[in-house]
Chain A
Amino acid sequence: MEASEAEEVWIRFPYLTGPCRSMMEDIAESIEQHLGSLLHPSRTPPDVTHFTSPRGNAEGSFILRSGANTSQVRFVFGWWIHCKLGAGTLDAATLFVMLGPGNDAPHFMMEVIQNDSSNFILLLDLLPRKDLVFNPDYLKTFYEDTELENYGQLVEKAPQSQFYVPSSLYVRSAVSPTALLFKFRDLSSPHDLHSLVEELIHPTANKVFRTWVDAFDGCRGRPEVEEEEKMMILARDEQIRSIGIEKDLSYLPKLFGQEIADRVIAAIRKGQ
């Protein structure tokens, strides 16, 4: 990799193994490619871009880049944590594109949770900006008229896959009806999952991201949403940010102490 390319890598996932790591880093790179020009470079303080727990059994990183025009792209962030638990380890990694209230394209979310190389959990979704029950046309535009359902069904067919039900009811409510929520585990050989990720999951993640790009690009061409609608979208996004995102980080104080947790939350709130 050339030096100039290396400089543009805004986040890495050093503790994810093999194909999961390539997949997340690939999507991070895609985010840079498609949105880089709309984002500030990261201004996240160094003690948030990397932190370790007082006991030394956990490490983490949180990197946020705010949008140049927050009405269109509010921010993107990536984070990962790595912790040693007894005999094993837990790794979690997330990429999130949070759009601004000036458009109604879905947010993009991808999360991988890995216990060891023989299993992992995937959450991959385009999060709706509107109440789908009230807005069936939104459902049609961003979900029914796309291939998202087909991508999910293909992954469902893989024998290593099982549906994953998040323990948070709020997360279950926030995701779309075509959200890919799966647990994967090795069935036969240790390289089982390796091939599955390379051949199916990673390409699927790319396709889902591509679908998101189309949705976002489609909205960029149009005028900004009306003021009333904007307020509605903003109110909803605020809930997603505080409950969906911040609450998701609620284990931070336990693992890393209140100080680090506060710093990370502050970074999200400040949008830096």
Chain B
Amino acid sequence: MQDQWVEFPHLSLAGRSLMEGIVSTVETQLGSQLNPSYTPADVRSFKNADGSGEGSVNIKSGKEGSKVDFVLGSWLHCKLPFGALNIATIIGMVSHLTDTPHLLFEFIQSSPSSLVLVLDLLPRKDLVLEPEYLQWFYEDTKLDIPRQTLEKAPEAQPYVSSSLYVRSVVSPTAILFKISTESQGNEGTVDSMDKVVKDTVEPVVKEVVGIWLEAISTRGRSMQEHEQGLLLRRDNMIKTKGVEVDLSSNMPRLFGQDVADRVVAAFRKGI
């Protein structure tokens, strides 16, 4: 049993347990397809000039010929006037040799009583043009059920990304919710959020990640050469317009351009 590859030191108990648990599961299942991490030390740990923010980005690339392009675990922690902003992310990028959707999981906590969840299996193909892909990866796997479960939770409200591009990238079963425990009053909000995270959020996340891992091993189809090229191009669009824009919009402001550039470079290289 190896040491935890990525830790999330600034999250609450339940948040930390959730994120580290998912990292561990992903690593265990995909471990044989992954290289050790070559992420430079100054990307694995960085701070901003006045110490009000720190972060960590950790990447393990997939082995040559494997189904995995890379897996990424990262966190940002910024002290704010009335608390802290924590952004924890897990990404599972699938290689162009197979067509399984990518995994995107973001746990964004802007206050003890307010959490934004982004959890999705990002499609590799245009679902309107290829309904069989939609059927195979989204309908047959009953991926909408975990989303419906969370939708019913009284603490959950739909979260709409301000980026139209992000809205286009996510799947029709994307889990996009704001979780709010504000109505419970100020006493013990950390505990009430932790309870919701443990009882309501965690089972749903585990279910979706489970579906993803199974899809990698049993549902992904081998791509012919001409299909690989198409997947690569589409994936690059998702990486640059989707993820990079996300990374480079907050990071320069919080950590300076230098750090932002380093992180984007690591992400591009997939190490």
Contact = CB atoms under 8 A, between A and B. Distances in A.
Interface of A: 128, 131-134, 136, 139, 143-144, 149, 163, 165, 169-170, 172-174, 177-178, 232, 235-236, 239-240, 243
B48 to A, nearest CB: 31
B128 to A, nearest CB: 5
A149 B126 contact: no
Contacts, number: 63
A236 B125 CA distance: 12
A177 B238 CA distance: 16
Interface string B235-256: 0011001000000000000000
The 9 A-B pairs with the shortest beta carbon distances in the complex, nearest first, are A172-B172, A177-B167, A131-B126, A132-B168, A173-B127, A177-B164, A169-B172, A173-B172, A236-B129
A239 B172 CA distance: 17
B164 A133 contact: no
B234 interface: yes
B234 A133 contact: yes
A134 B131 contact: no
Contacts of B165: 132-133, 136, 139, 177
Which size class do B's interface residues fall under? 20 to 34
A136 B164 CA distance: 10
Interface of B: 126-129, 131, 134, 138-139, 144, 151, 158, 164-165, 167-169, 171-173, 233-234, 237-238, 241
Nearest to B148: A165
Given A136-B237, A169-B172, 15 more contacts: A128-B128, A131-B126, A133-B126, A133-B168, A134-B237, A136-B241, A144-B164, A169-B144, A170-B127, A170-B128, A173-B134, A232-B129, A236-B126, A239-B131, A240-B128
B168 A149 contact: no
B160 to A, nearest CB: 8
B129 A131 contact: yes
Looking at B126, B134, B138, B169, the one whose CB has the most chain A CB atoms below 10 A away is B126
B131 A170 contact: yes
Contacts of A172: 172
Nearest to B240: A136
A139 B164 CA distance: 8
Contact of A178 (B127, B134, B164, B241): B164
